[in-house]
Amino acid sequence: MSAQLTADGRRFISDYHLATLSTMGPGEVIHVVAVGFTYVDGVVRVITSDGSQKVRNIERDHRATVAQVGGPQWLSIAGTARVLRDPDAVTHAVELYAVRYRQPRVNPRRVVIELTPERVLGSAGLWD
């Protein structure tokens, strides 16, 4: 990813805001769903249930975008996503989620979607 988040950008994606995850659904229809996400060490993480539509979409087509809006500020992070089922990766993603949002309920079917950013767009001052 050539764009780097500024200090304001890092704050914006650390504050409590919900976001959307957009994936390509069956028939090339864009599937958009509300999610919580974290951005740590250059990776976007979304926790979810295995077998959900977003998981099935990513396993079929790895393109994904996470977008967040807060008042007049917005940020969109697009890239390639993958689904991880490794217990350590899931535990790490849950720990990060709990810091930003809250401790999620127990879910034995939980997986983590990891998005590697390739392009960032957003409000002036959030990235350079």
Pairing of strands 38-40, 73-84: unpaired
Q: Which sequence spans correspond to the domains of the chain?
A: 7-121
Per-residue pLDDT tens over the stretch 67-123: 999 999 999 999 999 999 999 999 999 999 999 999 999 999 999 999 999 999 999
Which pLDDT value is given to residue 49? Answer: 98
Is it true that domain 7-121 has CATH number 2.30.110.10? yes
Q: What is the chain's mean pLDDT, rounded?
A: 95
**pLDDT at 128 (0 to 100):** 81
- pLDDT, position 5: 86
The arrangement of strands across the sheet holding 43-49 comes to 30-35, 19-24, 63-70, 73-84, 110-122, 43-49, 38-40
